[in-house]
């Protein structure tokens, strides 16, 4: 708006032209008609109005700049349902179960409108760190991590949080970190189940010699499983009902290492009456060592319900395995991951301390599987087909 005042003369209506008076034949002069002059704005008021508009415009510009800045720099972000991206970091494909985890996670995510980017570390700690950092740089909304080493991976959790990315510790708990949620099975219960089945099978034998073939020292699950095992064995050891004659962990859960270690023990002339193995892979290694040492028919337990383990149940070389419904675990993890991407608090039913804090957790219940209930568990759930278990 111009600050210059209008000239009053420019707002006047000039005198009307002569009008012919047809009744008398003359053309009288009509007095000049003049409208009321336009009311002018007070210069001070006009100047105030101008600066008011300038102030409003400036405020809008500043507000937009502030909003733009926070949108560009704020780490937290809420993903829309259709745009949720999950970064899945797997330790390994060594055990066949991890293929199922990946498959079920992908299926559940896609059914929910989310996308999954998967990276597999092949048991390499540094590679897993680099892969997780890669996923962070891709700006995924949530990280789902199965750590190889529960402590080594911890520093990247802080990196993820700085980028506004939530972290779900899947099946294995990440230690010494501010992880957002832990989704797994009750691994102490896994250990209790495995120990109890061996103890019950040896109920008539006093002083039964039991071997414990442990899991990977780097995996907190192995710690939890052993805790469950010892909660069953400790009072029995104290009463002399059983003896724990062998207690050795297995690096990276490798069946060959479980085999060589137990075989070396048996080659010295030692004997065992039962074996509690931390998973089905280590159970396989133990059974091989037992058979080569001429020890058959003793109770051996494990976990994961691997197909080969189910077939050993049928053959009678393994007594029990803990079935952990991977489909249920994967579905729960994906649902929680999507909730966190939307800014919702994760569903939880427990808390597990990881050395840094009591981590909100969601724990599922493992199911003991023996030869007697194969059909009612892994086959009924569609985990395996009848043909896969029993053959065509």
pLDDT at 80: 52
pLDDT at 66: 58
Distance CA(216)–CA(172), nearest Å, equals 11
CB 285 within 8 A of CB 258: yes
Mean pLDDT of 26-46: 45
How many Cα atoms occupy the beta-carbon half-sphere of 52 within 13 Å? 6
pLDDT band at 51 (very low <50, low <70, confident <90, very high): low
pLDDT, tens only, 153-168: 999 999 999 999 999 9
The answer on pLDDT for 41 being more than 60 is: no
The answer on pLDDT for 258 being more than 90 is: yes
CB 188 within 8 A of CB 163: no
Mean pLDDT of 14-33: 37
pLDDT at 245: 98
Query: How far from each other are the two terminal CA atoms of the chain, in whole angstroms?
Result: 90
The answer on pLDDT for 33 being more than 50 is: no
Return the closest-CA partner of residue 170 out of 358, 381, 331.
331
pLDDT at 102: 96
Which stretches of 186-254 are DSSP H helices? 187-201, 220-239
Backbone dihedral angles phi then psi of residue 81, each to the nearest 5 degrees: -55, -40
**What angle is formed at CA 180 by the lines to CA 179 and CA 182, rounded to 5 degrees?**
80
Supply 277's token pair: 């193995």
- Report field, pTM of the whole predicted structure over 0.85: no
pLDDT, tens only, 303-355: 999 999 999 999 999 999 999 999 999 999 999 999 999 999 999 999 999 99
Mean pLDDT of 59-79: 54
Supply 356's token pair: 């840094």
Between 9 and 302, where is the model more confident?
302
CB 368 within 8 A of CB 320: yes
The answer on pLDDT for 133 being more than 80 is: yes
Beta strands in the chain (DSSP E): 85-90, 115-120, 142-145, 166-170, 181-185, 208-213, 242-248, 274-277, 300-303, 320-323, 350-353, 358-364, 367-369
Q: Domains of the chain by range and CATH?
A: 84-179+326-363 (3.40.50.2300), 187-324+369-390 (3.40.50.2300)
Supply 237's token pair: 């050891």
Distance CA(362)–CA(173), nearest Å, equals 11
Between 58 and 376, where is the model more confident?
376
pLDDT at 139: 96
pLDDT at 77: 52
**Average pLDDT, whole number, for the chain?**
86
Give just the sign of the alpha carbon dihedral 157, 142, 355, 327.
Answer: negative
pLDDT band at 79 (very low <50, low <70, confident <90, very high): low
Mean pLDDT of 222-250: 98
The answer on pLDDT for 15 being more than 50 is: no
């Amino acid at each position: 708006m111009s600050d210059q005042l209008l000239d009053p003369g420019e707002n006047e209506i000039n005198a009307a032209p002569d009008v012919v008076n047809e009744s008398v034949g003359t053309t009288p002069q009509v007095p000049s008609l003049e409208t009321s002059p336009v009311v002018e704005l007070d210069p001070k008021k006009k100047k105030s109005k101008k600066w008011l508009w300038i102030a409003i415009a400036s405020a809008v510009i500043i507000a937009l700049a502030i909003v733009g800045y926070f949108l560009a720099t704020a780490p937290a972000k809420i993903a829309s349902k259709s745009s949720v991206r999950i970064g899945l970091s797997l330790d390994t494909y060594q055990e066949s179960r991890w293929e199922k985890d990946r498959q079920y996670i992908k299926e559940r995510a896609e059914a929910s409108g989310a996308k999954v980017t998967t990276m597999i570390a092949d048991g390499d700690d540094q590679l897993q760190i680099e892969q997780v950092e890669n996923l962070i740089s891709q700006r995924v909304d949530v990280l789902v991590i199965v750590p190889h080493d529960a402590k080594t991976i911890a520093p990247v959790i802080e990196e993820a949080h700085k980028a506004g990315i939530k972290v779900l510790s899947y099946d294995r708990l990440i230690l010494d970190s501010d992880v957002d949620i832990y989704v797994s099975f009750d691994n102490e219960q896994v250990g209790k189940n495995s120990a109890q089945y061996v103890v019950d099978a040896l109920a008539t034998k006093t002083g039964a010699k039991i071997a414990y073939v442990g899991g990977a020292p780097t995996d907190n699950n192995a710690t939890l499983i052993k805790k469950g095992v010892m909660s069953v064995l400790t009072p029995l050891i104290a009463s002399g009902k059983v003896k724990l004659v062998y207690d050795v962990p297995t690096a990276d859960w490798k069946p060959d290492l479980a085999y060589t270690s137990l075989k070396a023990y048996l080659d010295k002339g030692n004997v065992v009456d039962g074996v509690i193995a931390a998973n089905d892979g280590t159970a396989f290694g133990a059974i091989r060592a037992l058979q080569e040492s001429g020890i058959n028919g003793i109770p051996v337990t494990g976990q994961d319900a691997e197909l080969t383990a189910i077939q050993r149940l049928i053959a009678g070389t393994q007594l029990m395995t803990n079935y952990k419904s991977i489909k249920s675990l994967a579905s729960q993890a994906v649902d929680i991951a999507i909730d966190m991407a939307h800014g919702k608090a994760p569903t939880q039913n427990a808390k597990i301390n990881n050395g840094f804090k009591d981590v909100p957790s969601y724990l599922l219940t493992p199911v003991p599987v023996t030869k007697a209930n194969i059909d009612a568990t892994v086959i009924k759930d569609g985990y395996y087909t009848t043909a896969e278990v029993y053959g065509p």
